[in-house]
Amino acid sequence: MWSVGIVGTGSYVPENILTNVDLEKIVDTNDEWIITRTGIKERHIAPKDMPVSELCYQAGLRALEDAQVAPEEIDLVLVATITPDYAFPATACLVADRLGAKNAAAFDLEAGCTGFIYGVATASQFVATGMYKKVLVIGGETLSKILNWEDRSTCILFGDGAGAAVLQRVEEGFGLLSFELGSDGSGGKLLSQPAGGSKLPASLETIEKNLHTVQMEGKEVYKFAVRIMGEVSVNVLEKAGLTKDDIDLLVPHQANMRIVDAAVKRLGISPDKVVINLDKYGNMSAASIPVALDEAVKAGRLAEGDIVVMVGFGTGLTWGACVLKWTKVGIQG
């Protein structure tokens, strides 16, 4: 089994920014209330005619450039999303074609906000076994398109964006050291888009009842998230034979500042080691972690050999974390 690392990152968010003050004109809420309860100040919103594949393409293009990898060298494109262009074909197929990754297999993966972690875990196995040499993993969402903009409990939380990473073989001892993945389908209804699938196909009734939009039981999701974020971070460190003192950078899912604070407190690490961009983007679901990672890389917050923990939770319910010993130096062959 080869060691596998992330040798390139990229991200993209739409230009249009929706601030909390803008939201005050749409729904019964206010800037202070949103900031106090979530930490979010603004979010980026895709134009109506911009599908998630466009965001994924832009993020993927940047990741390939950062990794200095040509599109035709990619063996697999994996897109984690809950807002695909279509039920089928897979968004990954559209993105691979747009990028010119003509030699790549492609498929979508759905694990909600945990999607990027699940995607990295899945993709790394292809490289570790030698089946593939280079894999492009993208987490992308256009959640604004499935929000009920009259529901202040959900529409204030989410934003659009995409983040990407190129996975490749790296020197032994570097790269991905451990994973922790989990799920609990008994909590599936706590965060869902009820209609549009085979259980509730689109109808006049489902549209009138707003069942094609995000439905969330916020208090229950919050309780689950506060517990699982710290717990899974500790578990994944133990699997890697490390402790909280070894963490150089924590990249958590950017859902709610109070949830992140609880995880940081559970780990007992300095807030200086935590990547936070929630205030600028809101919750971008599967795009949240890879965008935060890319911004940390671009800001020079990671050095060779640093220990990175990425952790998230999402619909499903799902959760996941991974430990990474940072290097961007890939091994060919």
For residue 201, name the pLDDT band (cuts at 50, 70, 90): very high
| Of 56, 155, 253, 322, catalytic | 253
Q: What's the fold here for domain 1-333?
A: Peroxisomal Thiolase; Chain A, domain 1 (3.40.47)
Of 94, 109, 101, nearest to 132 by C-alpha is 101
> Which H, E and C letters describe 290-329, residue by residue?
HHHHHHHHHCCCCCCCCEEEEEEEECCCEEEEEEEECCCC
The average pLDDT across 140-167 equals: 98
What mean pLDDT, rounded, does the chain reach? 97
Q: What is the pLDDT of residue 332?
A: 85
pLDDT confidence of 223, banded at 50, 70, 90? very high
Strand partners, 314: 318
Answer for the pair 143, 159: CB distance below 8 angstroms, yes or no: yes
Average pLDDT over residues 228-242: 97
Provide the pLDDT for residue 222.
Answer: 94
For the purposes of burial, counting CB atoms within 10 Å of the CB of 200, is it exposed (0-12), middle (13-18) or buried (19 or more)?
A: middle
Mean pLDDT of 118-146: 98
Can you tell me which residue has the tokens 């089994």? 1
* Per-residue pLDDT reduced to its tens digit, 89-100: 999 999 999 999
Write down the domain spans for the chain. Answer: 1-333
Q: Is the pLDDT of residue 333 over 80?
A: no
**What's phi and psi for 147, nearest 5 deg?**
-95, 150
Helix axes 288-298, 52-67, angle to 10 degrees: 30
Q: What is the pLDDT of residues 258-310, one digit of tens each?
A: 999 999 998 999 999 999 999 999 999 999 999 999 999 999 999 999 999 99
- Angle of helix 257-267 relative to helix 218-239, nearest 10 degrees? 30
Q: Is 212 a catalytic residue?
A: no
Q: Which residues of 308-322 are buried (b: 16+ CB within 10 A; e: fewer)?
A: bbbbbbbbbbbbbbb
What pLDDT does residue 59 have?
A: 99
Active site residue 113: yes
pLDDT mean over 222-249: 96
Q: Which of 113, 256, 277, 322 is catalytic?
A: 113
CB 25 within 8 A of CB 45: no
The predicted model gives 33-58 an average pLDDT of 97
Out of 56, 155, 283, 322, pick the active-site residue: 283
Question: Given pLDDT bands bounded at 50, 70 and 90, which one contains residue 75?
Answer: very high
User: Which residue, 134, 216, 155, is CA-closest to 24?
Assistant: 155
Instruction: Answer yes or no: pTM beyond 0.95.
Output: yes
